[in-house]
Structure 1
């Protein structure tokens, strides 16, 4: 086993020798399973438990040095932990992946620390607002794909992410999210979801999975059974979804079942309470109160629902167990034991280890699982089944070799390949096309758009954060450089947590055109007598108050103005009085010499007529004044050229 490299070539060799027919395939599977069973039979309990733990080394503090910093270079200390605990995998974060060459060297070093059973090296590279790589292609994100409504875009997204991660030595992507975002006040999913429609989520999710798997990348759907209809972020609290079983099966769970049927590799759990399936009560370690068990720790949800009812026999991984929804209420040792008892195969981020001095955290969790197995609380048979699933997936995706084949490419060759793949021109071209197809024009009274400025006209750009302002301003200058528009003066202001000031008034008065970016995670305007009360300038409500003040003053001065929804499109409901409104579904701007998402530049192109928006809403937009009423319906979007609603094919 230690002298081999990949299983894929070995399997192809066996298939060719056997003729490649159905019987041959069964023979291959039988031999593969027998090999895995032999491996497991020789494994110690320590080795088996290690395969089921997946910590992060996001930051690391070497002994004798200062505070912990981003772990970007393999070292003997981390290697010793991987070997000592026989870890089955690690998860990487942005702190670990600062550039292409560095990332290849890091993943190569991580794998060298585990020569017997190669690691799952995982990352959350969803595209959109959850993008860890600091170099490469920054795709528009799931809701943008939902707005574009093209399955090819979902497939291309998966293929681009898969090829870039694979070239870097990463073999598991924790994506796509197939949560159905049907709660406008959801603080953690939002644009990470394709849509509020389970059918659209399913279609686009499956295509993303296929794109990833075509690159031999392990695809993971999350967050089972569904994190879309929550108003609490499980990073900070314990959300609850109170719907009955019928509703959950018809909405939230549909994309997960479709993904299972399509052969998804992994399933990530949700730290969300689902009393319809399990209302078991636990005593919280946080405050002694009774709380319902979340899905991650529920045997009824993971084994009863996911495994037995829905027929999923792939690898189940928890969401991060250090999130407050779990850590505060259950404690790290009990959380890991309960998760494994529920039927999960891998405990993700089970203990914080930022230095050798913190190794005892991992030791404590490791020993707690071993003790639970020794006592029979966790059956050894279940552990063996989990390890078998883990090893089978490693073999399937070429991570764990079972036969002797040519040696692994030299490190320098891997680096050269990654530099050619990550952020390639072909990938960037597709990235921009997806973003442009997603732009959704929701309002365009008096044909306000496209803007057609004359030379030296003053365009005022306002957005919450400096990187967003820079993305807008730079995009305008680039259009002028390419002679797509007249060269203009660009003035700007970022307004995060500011009240509307005399400076803002002056800038609007001096402008010929005004572009205001809105970034509202959760709509919370003050409504009085059926109207938004603009007299209240509460600094806590700056995200709503400031852009509304800009809109009102610009309207008063008869300025050409457009409101751009930068994140969740639900915030457009705060700007009913605006003449022009569009949604771009992505808020990341320009920083460190690069556009961190293509969404804002694509929006600027539409505003100045370089592209004609063809996106349609993948969600309903409720009114903030009368929340039971729809302001804009699912599927709505305007064609800028004709001014008419866009007709969606097949809908």
Structure 2
């Protein structure tokens, strides 16, 4: 005899009484922690409910009726609730626009879950740590390449643990991280410091520990971007990248971290909008320009089902990267892209349609109807849909998102808020964040013992950096050292590269300075090189990111000023400054804004410059020479001890 014990609204959920030991109340059912019968749920779901579980839109911005424009969606409203309920959505993704402070975020996630009357939502976010973070009140951490510079598994675990604790306290249950791309292309415009390393084994080691840290907090961990976005020269937000390596090379480099993450039990896998002709050279006609293009991995059945599922044995949930990115949207169109992705074997279509008002609901309607029609016609087989929905619900059960006894499991909103306020960005997390960042600092040159700086009282320190928030981070960090009596009182002058050219005013500031700190932020090295020499006579405005700091370096050293070059983004840019006497990499460019340090990397670099911490990092990538591209300027594993001047051995 079967008796209905508990069910999400509209879904028949039956279990045999014998398996419950005679339990009859929902509360007792929850206390027994009986596992929901996913198979029974799926069997009783309508096609509409199944399709909804496979769609994950964003509500980054929202324009309510009567308002003149869309603004950040931060407060739950009946309009978004109606869309969640109407389309039986399985999840949503949040962005920085949605998570402006801790209490607000808890209230928003609570409202989103309450809107899902059938099944609880995946509430997801990209909180990788480092340069890709969304929480505006959270612990940002120094990022993956900084972790790679430390070589420290414990730091990777701690990073995952901190992110997991903070997200969980906010009501977010899926993190789209870590990125386990192997960044072996110095010109990569989108990955760079988001990667742990150019070495697949180091990426694997640190990636797995980050996953474990996340999962220790019951947070769903997602490896991305499968099969690998590390060796690309195009950003898939704007175009369609291609990786032309053969299968043997891909299996020995790009696929290694993904396979090891699968073996370690990662929950979710995010696809890459990248072409991999070695695995699938099927072509389509682009809707953008009518040209023939190869299918990207996200839409490839050979890659998702053949390679990832069948060959590599991944049994978890596969989610696409955002389908509104130009690599997909421009070439395939909204509805076709979603249908092709689901046909390929992915379980969830991320950001399948832009919906930022009720007037734009037609976009999600169009996608929903296209998928439903494809299922009903057999273009997307129903048994494949059932497998996807089963995987989705099984993961929700595994991570205690879907559980019996909702009443017993509920926590009052005030308690949720209090808990989150105690967890998010707390002092213990910030202390660990700073320690990791300091140990990641990598000293690459220190001729004439330029570092550490030891200024005398009232000496002048000039800070130059590409952007105002970076100047503020450097200046504020120096002044904090003064306030803490760790260095003598000094005069700090700061200037950003706002005019993008080296002027007489900049020269005057250097003339007046005793010490000069210059930040370098170069996404992709592109200096003018003639006969193996960087040609500084070419003042191309498009190369300002290289030209300005080089001009500052040359002038400061000509005037015998103590000068240090701080690489604040991809460390490859230090190759533009071979003549500098002191060079360091900090692996993170976010500065100080809105009353907080948005990354610990720059302050950690300042602490090193003034001798308040020792650089312990070693390069997690090779840095090729700009003037001799076939040669390495600094090799993988290189880093100097500031005291002895000798290479650090790890």
**TM-score normalised by L of structure 1:** 0.95
Matched, 1:126 2:154: no
CA distance in structure 1 between the partners assigned to 2:614 and 2:437 by the alignment: 12
Correspondence for 2:345: 343
- Local SS of the residue matching 1:406: helix
Matched, 1:215 2:217: yes
Q: CA deviation at 1:276?
A: 0.2
8 Å Cα contact 1:57-1:91 kept in structure 2: yes
Unaligned runs of at least 5 residues, structure 1:
6-13, 18-27
Match of 1:107 among 92, 106, 109: 109
Match of 2:250 among 248, 251, 257: 248
CA distance in structure 1 between the partners assigned to 2:406 and 2:81 by the alignment: 25
- Local SS of the residue matching 1:442: strand
8 Å Cα contact 1:140-1:435 kept in structure 2: yes
Q: CA deviation at 1:116?
A: 2.3
Alpha-carbon distance change, 318 to 481 in structure 1, aligned in 2, over 3 angstroms: same
Q: CA deviation at 1:115?
A: 2.9
CA distance in structure 1 between the partners assigned to 2:320 and 2:109 by the alignment: 22
8 Å Cα contact 2:88-2:118 kept in structure 1: no
Unaligned runs of at least 5 residues, structure 2:
10-17, 22-31
CA distance in structure 2 between the partners assigned to 1:84 and 1:553 by the alignment: 64
- Local SS of the residue matching 1:274: coil
- Local SS of the residue matching 1:132: coil
CA distance in structure 1 between the partners assigned to 2:6 and 2:264 by the alignment: 32
- Tell me which moved more, 564-573 or 403-412: 403-412
Q: CA deviation at 1:513?
A: 0.2
Alpha-carbon distance change, 362 to 396 in structure 1, aligned in 2, over 3 angstroms: same
CA distance in structure 2 between the partners assigned to 1:209 and 1:497 by the alignment: 43
CA distance in structure 1 between the partners assigned to 2:107 and 2:422 by the alignment: 16
Q: CA deviation at 1:308?
A: 0.0
Correspondence for 2:614: 612
8 Å Cα contact 1:45-1:370 kept in structure 2: yes
- Local SS of the residue matching 1:372: helix
- Local SS of the residue matching 2:408: coil
CA distance in structure 1 between the partners assigned to 2:462 and 2:626 by the alignment: 27
Task: Give the alignment of 1:386-405 within 5 angstroms.
Answer: 386-403=388-405
Q: CA deviation at 1:3?
A: 6.7
8 Å Cα contact 1:497-1:542 kept in structure 2: no
CA distance in structure 2 between the partners assigned to 1:548 and 1:320 by the alignment: 38
Match of 1:71 among 58, 70, 73: 73
Task: Give the alignment of 1:414-433 within 5 angstroms.
Answer: 414-433=416-435
Q: CA deviation at 1:16?
A: 12
CA distance in structure 1 between the partners assigned to 2:101 and 2:406 by the alignment: 33
Matched, 1:462 2:464: yes
Report Cα offsets for 1:173-227 as digits up to 9, x if no partner.
0000000000000000000000000000000000000000000000000000000
CA distance in structure 2 between the partners assigned to 1:253 and 1:306 by the alignment: 10
Match of 2:87 among 72, 85, 89: 85
Correspondence for 2:177: 175
Match of 2:599 among 578, 597, 600: 597
Matched, 1:41 2:32: no
Match of 2:195 among 193, 196, 216: 193
- Local SS of the residue matching 2:389: helix
Q: CA deviation at 1:402?
A: 3.2
Task: Give the alignment of 1:72-471 within 5 angstroms.
Answer: 72-403=74-405, 406-471=408-473
- Local SS of the residue matching 1:247: helix
Alpha-carbon distance change, 97 to 551 in structure 1, aligned in 2, over 3 angstroms: same
Q: CA deviation at 1:498?
A: 1.1
Q: CA deviation at 1:406?
A: 2.0
CA distance in structure 2 between the partners assigned to 1:56 and 1:452 by the alignment: 50
**Equivalent residue pairs, number:** 630
Correspondence for 1:25: none
Task: Give the alignment of 1:443-592 within 5 angstroms.
Answer: 443-496=445-498, 498-592=500-594
Alpha-carbon distance change, 496 to 201 in structure 1, aligned in 2, over 3 angstroms: farther
8 Å Cα contact 2:85-2:117 kept in structure 1: no
- Local SS of the residue matching 2:445: strand
8 Å Cα contact 2:199-2:621 kept in structure 1: yes
Q: CA deviation at 1:403?
A: 5.0
8 Å Cα contact 1:2-1:116 kept in structure 2: no
- Local SS of the residue matching 2:266: coil
CA distance in structure 2 between the partners assigned to 1:612 and 1:417 by the alignment: 36
CA distance in structure 1 between the partners assigned to 2:484 and 2:600 by the alignment: 17
CA distance in structure 2 between the partners assigned to 1:275 and 1:542 by the alignment: 36
Alpha-carbon distance change, 194 to 573 in structure 1, aligned in 2, over 3 angstroms: same
8 Å Cα contact 1:4-1:401 kept in structure 2: no
8 Å Cα contact 2:242-2:274 kept in structure 1: yes
CA distance in structure 2 between the partners assigned to 1:71 and 1:431 by the alignment: 29
Alpha-carbon distance change, 367 to 16 in structure 1, aligned in 2, over 3 angstroms: closer
8 Å Cα contact 1:4-1:407 kept in structure 2: no
CA distance in structure 2 between the partners assigned to 1:152 and 1:292 by the alignment: 41
Q: CA deviation at 1:78?
A: 0.1
Report Cα offsets for 1:268-316 as digits up to 9, x if no partner.
0000000000000000000000000000000000000000000001000
8 Å Cα contact 1:450-1:609 kept in structure 2: yes
8 Å Cα contact 1:4-1:404 kept in structure 2: no
- Local SS of the residue matching 1:122: strand
CA distance in structure 1 between the partners assigned to 2:246 and 2:214 by the alignment: 33
Q: CA deviation at 1:539?
A: 1.0
Matched, 1:637 2:618: no
8 Å Cα contact 2:142-2:588 kept in structure 1: yes
CA distance in structure 1 between the partners assigned to 2:354 and 2:308 by the alignment: 28
8 Å Cα contact 2:8-2:119 kept in structure 1: no
- Local SS of the residue matching 2:642: coil
8 Å Cα contact 2:54-2:347 kept in structure 1: yes
CA distance in structure 2 between the partners assigned to 1:496 and 1:317 by the alignment: 40
CA distance in structure 2 between the partners assigned to 1:576 and 1:497 by the alignment: 25
CA distance in structure 2 between the partners assigned to 1:158 and 1:71 by the alignment: 27
8 Å Cα contact 2:35-2:403 kept in structure 1: no
Correspondence for 2:24: none
Q: CA deviation at 1:637?
A: 0.1
Report Cα offsets for 1:90-112 as digits up to 9, x if no partner.
00000000000000000000000
Q: CA deviation at 1:64?
A: 1.4
Q: CA deviation at 1:15?
A: 12
